[in-house]
Structure 1
Amino acid sequence: MPDRRSAATDSRRAVPRTDAVLADPRLATAAARLGGRLVKEAVTAAQARCRAGDLEPGEVADAALAALPEAATSLHRVVNATGVVVHTNLGRAPLSAAAREAVALAAGPTDVELDLATGRRGPGGAGALAALAAAVPDAGAVHVVNNGAAALALVTLGLAAGRNVVLSRGEMVEIGDGFRIPELLESVGATLREVGTTNRVRLADYAAAVDGATAFVLKVHPSNFVVSGFTSTVPVRELAGLPVPVVADIGSGLLAPHPLLPGEPDAATALREGAALVTASGDKLLGGPQAGLLLGRADLVQALRRHPLARALRVDKLTLAALEATLTGPTAPVRAALEADTAALRRRAGALAGLLADVGADARASVAAVGGGGAPGVELPSAAVTLPVPFAEALRRGRPAVVGRVERDRLLLDLRTVPPEQDEELLAAVRAAAAALAGA
C-alpha cells in the first residue's frame, strides 16, 4: 500500500516557493501596478491548487497571473448589453472618454481650490459650476452636492426645518432601495402636508394647505412609474402663482427638453415656469458622475451653499472634473445611446449574428428602456443579437463581463447600450463563452 503521508510530503515539496514565484518578472510587474498584497494572494491561491493536484508546479505562476484583477479594485468592467441605457446596478451613466480623462488628471494634485495666478486659495470647483450655469442659463445660481437625494435634503433642511412642506399624495414616491421621499423630508425636520389623492390633485388643494407655516411647495416627478387613467396633476407654472416658493425635484437630470423624452421634466423648463429651485441627479440623463444638482434663485442657492450641512455633502475633485467634462465635452454615452439610429443597430446585429451563427446566434428586433428612474414607459426601438440562455452566465463570468437580458428563452444582447467600438470585444467575449461552455 502506498504511503499517503510520503505522497503528501512529495506534493508539498513540489510546490514552488512563494519567493520563487514572486520573482517571475510578469508578477513583479503586476505587483508594481496592483500592489504586493493582491499578487501574493493570487500566488497563494495558485499554490493551494498545486497542492491539491489541480496544477503542475510549472503552472503556478501562470495561474496566479491569470487570476489577477484588471485593476486594484474588486469591481469588474462590464459591457452593458441589457438595453437599459441608465442601468442602476451597472453604475448608472457610463462616463465619456473626456470625463474619464478629466478624472485621471484630477487624480493627482490640481488647482481645485487654488488660484494659480495669485497663489491664494480659490473657489472650489469653479470650472464645473461655471459649466453647469452655462448649460442652464435660466438658473440664477447653481450648486453641486454628492447625489440627488442630498440636494433635496439640503433644500429641505435649509428652508423647511420646523416648517411645512406641501406635497401631493401622488408624488410621495419611493426612490429606490427602500428610501422614500416623505421619510427623507421628515428626517431633516420638515412636516409634510399631503394634498389631493393618489391619482388626482388640483391647484385648490395646494392653495388650501398653504399657510404661514409653509416653507415651500414640492413638485416631485414620479420618475420610476406611471399612473394613467383618471388622473390630474398641477404643473409648475400653476403652482408658481402660490405665495410660497416652488421646489421641483425633476430627478433624472435632464437639463433641457429632449425630443425623444417629451414627458420628462427638464430643469430649464421648470425654471422658466417659475420654480424657485430645481434639484436633480447628475448620473442619469445628464450622463455624468454621481452628483446632486441644485439650480435656481441666486439668494436661495447662495444661502444653501453656506448652510453647515453643505460641507458634509460636498463633492470631491474627481466628481467636479467629470461633471465639467460631461457638460463641456463631446456627446456623453447616455445621450449617444438614446439617439442611436435604429437602422444602424439592425445592421450591426445582423453582422454580429452572421459571424456567430455557428454558436446559435441570430438577430432580432428588441425594445430598450431609458432606465435609472427616468422616462418611465418610454420604449426605444432597438436590435439585439440573441443566443441560447446558457450563454448568460458564461458571459457574466468572462473578462470583461457581458450582461444581457433573457426574454422568451433567449439571451438578448441589446446593441443600443453597446457602443459600436465594442463590437469586436463583444464578438470575442461570445467566442470565449462558447469555448467555456464547450469545455464544461
Structure 2
Amino acid sequence: MNAEIIAVGTELLMGQIANTNGQFLSQELARLGVNVYFQTVVGDNESRMRQSLELARSRADLIICTGGLGPTQDDLTKDVLAAYLGRGLIMHEPSLRYMTEFFESRGVVMVDSNKRQAHMLEGSDPLPNDTGLAVGIALTQDGTHYMLLPGPPKEMKPMFLNYGVQWLRGVMKDEVPLVSRMLKFAGIGESLLEDRLLDLIRGQTDPTIAPYAKEGEVAVRLTTRAASEREGLAAIAPVEAEIRRRVGEFIFAERDVPLETIVLELLKTSGRTLAVAESCSGGQLSDMLTAIPGSSQTFLGGVVCYSNALKNKLIGVPLDVLEGEGAPGAVSAQAAGLLAEGVRDRTGADFGLSITGVAGPDPSEGKPVGLVFVGLAERGKAAETFELKLSGNRETIKLRASKSALTKLWQRLKTV
C-alpha cells in the first residue's frame, strides 16, 4: 500500500509551525508496511485542497490529512473531502455529547461553530479524540482509503495510534511491515563512514543500507520487510555484523537516541558523576544533558564561564594563563585542561569536561574561528586535552564542539 500525507494549514506554509506530524506518520506507517512516497503541505484554501486530494488520489492508495478539523471557518478539511467524494456531512452524536459536557463542566458557553468539530462524512468511521474535541474519520471509496486527523500533535498522535492503526489493519491486505535497525556513530564523520561502507551500500539489495547525518550525529539504518521483528532482525544480522567488523569501534547505540543519552547511561552504570565548564559553547552542552530525563542522577551541573574573570573566579584558572603577553590564552589546551580539572574539583564530580574556543563570527586572541579545545579530567588523573578545528557558523560550531566533547567522554567511559 502506498500513502500520501497531506498537512493542511496556512501556518505551515508560512513557517509559523513545523510539520512534525509528517515525520511521525511516516515512521508509524513504515512499521505497518505502508510506503510513504509523497508528503504535501497545503494552505486553508478550498480549491488548492481539492487539487491536492486529486493529485494524491492519482498516486496513492491511502491519503491521510492532518489539520483543518477545528471549529473556525478556515477549518475546511471535512467540507472539502465531503464535496470531493460527493458525500454529505452528518453529526457524530457521541462527540457532540462529549463536547457539550466539556463546555458545561467548565461553565463556558459552547458557540454553534464548535459543533463543526463533531461533523463526519456519511458512511465514514469515527476516530475518537481522547485528548481534544474534533473527531477524526476514516473511510474507503472507489479503492482509495482516506483518514482525517487533527493537526495538534497531542491530539493526532494518540488518535492515530489508538484508533487509526486498528482501522488500517482492517483494510490492509498482505502488507509486510518494515523492520529497521538503527546504528548510531560517534568519532567518525559521514564521509569517512560512507567510504568504509561504500561497497556494501552500492551492492545492497535486502536489507537496505541508508546513511543519515545531521549536525553532530551520523547513523546507518538497516531495513528489511518481514512478518515479525524477530525474522527481520535475523535477516539484518549478517549485514550488521559486517558493519561492526569494519567500524564497530564508533558505534555508540543500536537505537535512535542521541549520544548524550548513552553517556548518561554509562555514567549511571559505572556510578560516576559529571560536571562541565563551558566557554564558547555557552551552556549548550549542559542543555543537551539536562534535556534527558533522569540526568540529575549523574550530571551535577555546569558553569558557563564566558569571561576570563569568571574562569578565574569560579573555576580557578590563573589569570596569567588566560591573558597577558606570552600567555596561552583562554583558547588553549592549557586553559581547557585547567577548566576541566577545576570544575571537577570544585563540584566533587568524577569527571570534569570543558569547552573553550572561538565560535565566531570573528577571530579571538588572534586565533581563527572554529579553533576549539576540549578538556577531560577524570578523578585522580591529570586532564587530557583535544584540539578541534571546526567549520560552520556560530551555532554549528557550538553544537559540534558540544558533540565532540561528549564523544571524548564516551570514548573514555567505554574503557572504565
TM-score normalized with structure 2 length: 0.30
Q: Whose RCO is larger (CA < 8 A, sep 6+)?
A: 1
TM-score normalized with structure 1 length: 0.29
